[in-house]
Structure 1
Amino acid sequence: MNHCTLMAELISDPQLRYTQDTQTAIAEFTVVFPGLKADDAPQQMKVLGWGNLAQEIQQTYHMGDRVLLEGRLSITSMERPEGFREKQVEMTAQRVYGLNTLGALPIGTPPTPPPIAAYSAPPPPGSPPPLPPPVAVAPPVPAPVAPTPEPEVDYDDIPF
Structure 2
Amino acid sequence: MNNVVLIGRLTRDPELRYIPNTGTPVANFTLAVDKQLSKEKKQEFESKGQPTADFINIVIWGRQAENCANYLSKGLLAAVQGRIQTRSYDAKDGTRRYVTEVVAERVEFLEWADDKDSNFEDTSTDFPDIDGFEPIDDDNIPF
The TM-score by the shorter chain falls in which range?
A: 0.5 to 0.7
The CA deviation at 1:36 is: 3.4
- Rate the CA distance shift 1:35–1:78 in 2: closer, same or farther, 3 A: farther
Comparing both structures, which one devotes a greater share of its residues to strand?
2
Aligned partner of 2:72 among 57, 61, 86:
61
Alignment of 1:5-154 (within 5 A): 5-38=5-38, 39=41, 41=51, 42-77=53-88, 87-100=98-111
- Structure 2: unaligned runs, 5 residues or longer: 46-50, 113-138
**Between Structure 1 and Structure 2, how many residues are aligned?**
105
Percent of aligned pairs with the same residue? Answer: 27
TM-score, structure 2 as length reference: 0.61
Structure 1 moving runs of 4+ over 6 Å: none
Q: Secondary structure at the match of 1:100?
A: coil
- Give the deviation of 1:79 after TM superposition: 7.1
> Aligned partners of 1:34, 1:87: CA distance in 2, in Å?
24
TM-score (norm 1): 0.55
Q: Which has the higher helix share?
A: 2
- How many Å apart are 1:47 and its aligned residue? 0.7
The 1:64/1:122 distance shift into structure 2, 3 A limit, reads same
Offset, 1:44: 0.8
Shift of 1:5: 0.6
Greater CA radius of gyration, 1 or 2? Answer: 1
